[in-house]
Structures are given as structure tokens and as C-alpha cells.
Structure 1
Amino acid sequence: MNSNKKGLNTICTHVGELEDKQYRGAVSPLYMSSSYAYEDVDVKRYPRYFNTPNQEGLCKKVAALEHAEAALIFGSGMAAVSTALMAFLKAGEHVVLQQTLYGGTYNLVHEEFSKYGIEYTFTKGWAAKDFEAEIKDNTKVIYIETPSNPLLTITDLEAVAALAQNNGLVSMIDNTFASPVNQNPIDFGIDIVIHSATKYMGGHSDICAGAVASNTQNIDRIFQLAKNFGGSLSDYTVWLLERSIKTMGIRVRAQNENALAMAQFLEKNDDIVKVYYPGLPHHQDHDIAKRQMKGFGGMVSFELKPGIDSSKFQKALQLIKPSMSLAGVESTLLSPAKTSHALMSAEVRESQGIADGLIRFSVGIEEVDDLKADILQAIKKVKLHPLS
């Protein structure tokens, strides 16, 4: 049976698992060796070549989850992003990138691409027409992120994929915020899917990893560069990530449900002036999200009413943790201007709509009533003691 035809939780649990032939254990054995035989073997294995037993098994799981032919696992999300982009770009070529991007990706392009003679343009919006307007004769790649970090804009996958195909371009997406549970871009014609596997794939705030999924030809091209860049992952972390993905479907669906409830709660609160969540009917891209997403995700962003200090609000929280990353089973939040998008200038952040008071909220699997109560008590505390 084709693994892509299996149900999500079955893929999460079983595809790519390694058989314990010696002891017949129920989970994949862990092969920690960094040195393997090379004589009289079918595969010459080497960790930097992404082909140790645990690496191969996990790559099969990620590929199946994204309805792809093949995948690679990296040491971080940025290792996956940088290697995928550089594999398809060289000096004199051009890439069109979505305006609303993760700050780390923006910084990679802004700081490094000119050193390699690679031209780039950031779109003025995130509709297909915005990408079309920036295509040049030397354009090779269109790069998108949807839902975007941190404003949760939604880009039309089918429209961008068609645009890329009609112009002979490679389309890439950062699918981290959606996860394979909520969105499978390859089904809409996107060529290459990238993840910070640190986030929903890991899901417990204890793993750093990245992933790329595509057809075999594209993955082989990325591999040829990846083996030189050396962004592979230790087998212990590979094993932990394979274990964590087993519960991804259950975790993400619970986070979807909680995030929608929290977004609805926040937009009714007079102390919140704006809520960003594609599951809300008045979200500017709600109809597109309904068409291409199976769930609206576990991320919500919001802005507090002027006069309620964002930093003091975060310090007043008792359950929700102010923390740098996202997508763990525990709820966390942060200020993008101070963390994920701090490498951007204030002017660039402002042009993207990232206010200094914006809060990005990663909703976990706790009871929703407890999360609501924590936010209410924190707001109340700051309003009662604004100068403390």
C-alpha cells in the first residue's frame, strides 16, 4: 500500500520506522555509529551524507507526510532554508521572495545573497499578482511562506504554483506554521516544501532540526550541496524527532482547536485591539485558508490596547511562558520585534505591519479556560499597577 494513501496518524506512527530485528522492540532502534563499513556493502553510510539508518527512516516519514517522493533532514530550519535556496540559485540569477517572511530568512537573503552575486526582490504583497510583478528574465525561484510569521498572512498556493510553472520557475514554501497536518503544498503544485522541524514536528521544545521534501530529482540536487555544507543532524536527535512525529497529528489538531478558541476570545476582549488568525471569518485571507488548509494552525498574533505595556503583560503571565520559539505542547508567546524579527530594521518591520507591541502566541494543548484566565489576570495586573 502506498504510504501516501495511509491516514495521517498511521503515517506519523509507522512510516519510516526501523525494524528491531534482534530484540523485536516496538520502536525504532537507535544507531549511533558515525563510522560504517565501506567494503562489501550496498550503501556506504556516512552521517554527513544523510544516509545513516535513522536518517533514512525519518526522511521516508517526512516525505510521506508531505506527499513527496523524497526528503532530507537538516540540523536546523535555517540550514534547510539556506541549502534549498542556494541549490537552485547562482551568481547572476534572481529570486522573488514574499514580503511577509520569517526574520531569519529575510536576514539570510539580505546579508548573504549579494556576496554570492544572487539578485533578490521582496514582493509588495503576498498575492500571485505581487509575485508576477517582480519576475525578471533571470528569475529562477519563487519563495513563499504561508501562514506567514508573525502576521499569519495566507498566500494562494495554487495560484503561485501555476505562476511558477508557467514561467519555468521553481516554487518553494516554508510550511512550518501550517505543519503537514494542516497543509500539503505539493498537492497544490508547489515544488519544494521546507520546515523548521524544531516546531510542530518536534513539538516539545527540545529538538532543533529542519526538513525539505520534494521530488527525487530536486532532493538529489539539494543533497549535492547539503553534503558540502554539512548541515546534517545527529542520529540521537533524528531518533527523538521520529519519536515526536508519532504524536504530531494528535498534538496539532488539539492546538488548532485551542487556537481558534483563543482567537475568538481575544477578539472579544476590549483590551485587545487586533487579532491575526486565518480561522476568523473576517481575516483578509480566510477564504483562501479554507480552500487550502485542513486546519487553521496553532499560531495567533495580537496587539494589546495602547497603554497596556506588552513587556509587563508578558511578565505578569503565570501559565503561558514568554519564550523564544513556538509550537510546543506548552503555550508560549513573544514579541517579534525583540526576537524572531529583531534582525530586521525598524523601518522594514513597520513596512510589514509588525508593530513593536505585536505579540505572537503559540497556543499549546492546555485547557482553554486556563489559558483565558491567565491572559485576563495578566491584563488586569498591568492595568492596576501600570508603573510597577
Structure 2
Amino acid sequence: MSKHFETEAIRTQINRTEFQEHSMPMYLTSSFVFEDAEDMRASFSEEKERNIYSRFTNPNTSEFVDKICKMEGAEAGYAFATGMSAVFSTFAALLNSGDHIVSARSVFGSTHSLFTKFLPKWNITTSYFKVDEVDTLESLITPETKVLYVESPTNPAVDVLDLELLGEIAKKHNLIYIVDNCFATPYLQQPIKFGADLVIHSATKMIDGQGRVLGGVTVGKSELIREVYLFARNTGPALSPFNAWVLSKSLETLAVRAEKHCENALKVAEFLEKHDKINKVKYPFLKSHAMYEVAKKQMKLGGNVVAFEVKGGIDAGRKFLNTIKMCSLSANLGDTRTIVTHPASTTHSKLSEEDRNEVGITDGLVRISVGLEHVDDVIEDLQQALTAV
């Protein structure tokens, strides 16, 4: 029987033990025992599917992955200690020396560092296209190109890419199409519907939703996940059972949380768009967003992140943060608590102004992850901070 998203998130559970627990217990064990020598042999040879060692699989991580797979429409998946371990392990598992990546330029800072500082050590190169110049993408593809990689919406400038169009390009050139779906969550967007082969999440963000634990996950085609699993099994970036238990429980409330986050975020974006201290606001479900129609096509709602540019550049951005009273100053996002960040003076301060502008990070850009407080209180805090700028 086909079930709705919310039902799958709550009712997807591993088999109950003899204690008939209603809620999934924690399996805080490093290893599992065998009936006899033959059972052990068959398990290690993978003739039977069972838990052997928690670096490979664990009931808690399996339940978490099963839920994400159902939400994303994926065949298989593997859970990681962090979102970045998911990103790195996925590329490390699938690429060889000499391979080439084509990526949107607007990617998370650590992903950019991976592409420009670390993968080149193994002769794996990356070419970037700008999010507003997708028509240049195909000119970057070479015989060595193996992966097309994007985020949508992007971090931190909240740009949106046409996932279906990119899926058609990836299929045409026989590329592995990977989408970082962190900002949208599987509740708001399922990239596999638009042609993605693999989907990656930093579960640390909206999936956890309360700033408690780190985690990551990659899901998608089973033959690709098999390679990811074999790499991770031997290199050890596995998600801990405790964090998996927390994240699996968090998924039970993702739908209701996401709805409220998005409702609040849209109201905040509409407030900011009318403010005389703001140059521009970017939020996928604002009609002023350049990719509004695309966002409406591929997303259920606009997400919880709003980007806006304060008039006055870096000094104004810093003053805005210094005047915030209730909202948190943090580099995280997707929390119940509203969080504001000024990328130009913090997370992206080591980039040149030219490089920042290339990905939409102007001197006055502020990223706000809108939380679950009463939206009037969030807006009041933003108003008083903007008055002081």
C-alpha cells in the first residue's frame, strides 16, 4: 500500500525485538555475534545480509537510510558521520585519477575546497559554470568528464538551478548526476524525479532540525551506492548509531517542521523585500527571484533560508550582526532557532572580493536560516537591527 511522506517517515521501522518496543531502540554496539563458523563465513562473504560491524551497518543507521531512500525515491543509500564526509566519500568512491567534474560554481565552501585543493592531488579536476550561465555547461564537458554536480538551492546565495534541464544534459553525455539537496530536504524536493543519479544531504541541518548531532547521507542508484558503500566500509566515515537514532526520530517531524519553517521564511523574505535598508532579497518562492517559476516546478515550498543584501557593504553587515538581539550568530542552519550569518566577513572572508561576487556573496549579503520562533518576534529583531545600520 502506497503511503504518504509523513506516514513513511513515522512508520518505517526495523523489525521489533522480542520486547515489542513501540519506538526504535538504540543499538550502541560496535559488533554483532554469529551462530557458528558457517554463519560467520556466510556473513563475511555477503551470502546473507546481516549486521557484522557498526562501521559497515547497524540497525539504527539502516532505519535512517531506509527512511531517506523512501522519501527521495532512491534504491539504496549509506549514512555518514557528516555531510562533508558524504560528499568526499561519494566522489572518492566513484572517481579515478584523470577523471573530471563539471560543477555549478555556487557550492558550499568546503565542497569548493575539496574540488580545488584536495581532489587535484589525485589528478581529479573540476570545471565550474555560473548558475546563471547554464548554457555554457556543455562546452565544459570533455571525454574525461564523469560527474555533473550541483546544489539547489545553493549555499549561501539561495540560487536555484533547473534540475530537470541538468538531468537531460547529464543523460545526454552519460554523466553521473549528483545533487546536494540539503537546503530543500527530501520533503520539499526530490531530485531523482528530475534525473539525479545520487542525492546528498547534510543531515546536520534541517533533517536533525535542532542543532544536536552531525550526520550525512548519500542515496540513489544501487550500483553507485554499492561503490560508495565499499569505499566507506574500508575507510570508516560511518554515522554513529546514536546519531542515526536521533536523525531517524527527527525525520518523523520533518514535514510539519518544514511547513512552518517555510511559512516563516516567506514572511521574513516579504518583510525584508519592502525594507529601505535592503538592496535585494533572494528566496525561491518570492516572485522577484530569477528562478521563481523553476522553483515552483521542482520544490513544494521555498525552504527556510533567505539571503539579503544590506546597504552599506561589509561594515553594515557586521553592524547588523552586532545589533541582533534574539537571533543566533552561528555558521549552522536548519535549526529551530533563527540563525544569521554574514558570509563576507566570516565563512567566506578568505576568498577575494572577486571570487565572492562570482558566487553571489556581496559585501552586504546576510544569510538567515529562519527558525520556528513566532515570526513576529523574528521580524521585530531584524527590524531593530536594520534600524541601527
Residue 25 of structure 2 is aligned with which of 10, 25, 29? 29
List gaps (5 residues or longer) in structure 1: 384-388
Comparing 170-179 with 331-340, greater Cα deviation is found at 331-340
Q: 1:65-123 CA distances to partner (integer Å, 9 max, x unpaired)?
A: 11111111100000011111222211111110101111110011111111001121011
Cα distance in structure 1, aligned partners of 2:128 and 2:267:
34
Superimposed CA distance per residue, residues 205-237 of structure 1 (whole angstroms, 9 cap, x where no aligned partner): 111110111021111011111122211011111
**What's the counterpart of residue 257 of structure 2?**
251
Q: Distance in 2 between matches of 1:7 and 1:337?
A: 41
Instruction: Tell me the equivalent position of 1:182.
Output: 188
**Counterparts of 1:340-379 in structure 2 under 5 Å?**
340-342=347-349, 344-379=351-386
Which SS does the other structure have where 1:133 is aligned? helix
**SS of equivalent to 1:47:** coil
Q: How do residues 194-205 of structure 1 correspond to structure 2 at under 5 angstroms? A: 194-205=200-211
- Verify: 1:134 aligned to 2:140, yes or no: yes
**For the structure 1 residues 342 and 210, does the alpha-carbon distance in structure 2 shift closer, same or farther, using more than 3 Å as the test?**
farther
- Report how many residues are paired: 377
Using the TM superposition, give the Cα deviation of residue 373 of structure 1 relative to its aligned residue in structure 2, in angstroms: 0.8
Deviates more, 1:361-370 or 1:309-318: 309-318
C-alpha change, 1:127 and 1:11, in structure 2 (3 Å) is farther
The whole-number CA distance in structure 2 between the counterparts of 1:88 and 1:344 is 29
| 1:7 equivalent in alignment to 2:4 | yes
Equivalent position to 1:330, from 318, 337, 343: 337
Change beyond 3 A, Cα 1:243–1:343:
farther
- RMSD between superposed Cα atoms in Å: 1.6
The 3 A distance-change label for structure 1 pair 359 and 120 is same
Q: Which residue of 2 aligns with 1:59?
A: 65
Contact conserved, 1:127 with 1:155, CA < 8 A, in 2? no
Q: Which residue identity is paired with 1:6?
A: K
Q: What residue identity is the alignment partner of 2:26?
A: L
Gaps of 5+ in 2: 41-47
What whole-Å deviation, never above 9, does each CA across 1:303-324 have from its counterpart, x for those lacking one? 1121772222212222211111
Aligned with 2:112: secondary structure?
helix
Q: Which moved more, 1:114-123 or 1:300-309?
A: 300-309
Could you tell me how far apart the structure 2 residues matched to 1:338 and 1:240 are?
33
Quote the residue 2:45 is aligned against: none
Seen in structure 2, the aligned counterparts of structure 1 residues 120 and 276 have a Cα distance that, compared at 3 Å, is same
Secondary structure at the aligned position of 1:176 is classed as coil
Counterpart residue identity of residue 165, structure 2: A
Give the drift of 1:44.
Answer: 4.5
Task: Please tell me whether the aligned partners of residues 98 and 126 of structure 1 are also in contact (alpha carbons under 8 angstroms).
Answer: no
| Contact 2:261/2:370 (8 A) holds in 1 | yes
CA distance in structure 1 between the aligned counterparts of 2:271 and 2:182, rounded to whole angstroms: 25
SS in 2 for 1:379: helix
* 2:281 alignment partner AA: V
Question: How far is 1:34 from its partner?
Answer: 0.2
Report if the CA contact (8 A) 2:204-2:211 is conserved. yes
The residue that corresponds to 1:156 in the other structure is 162
What CA distance in whole angstroms lies between the structure 2 residues aligned with 1:230 and 1:104? Answer: 20
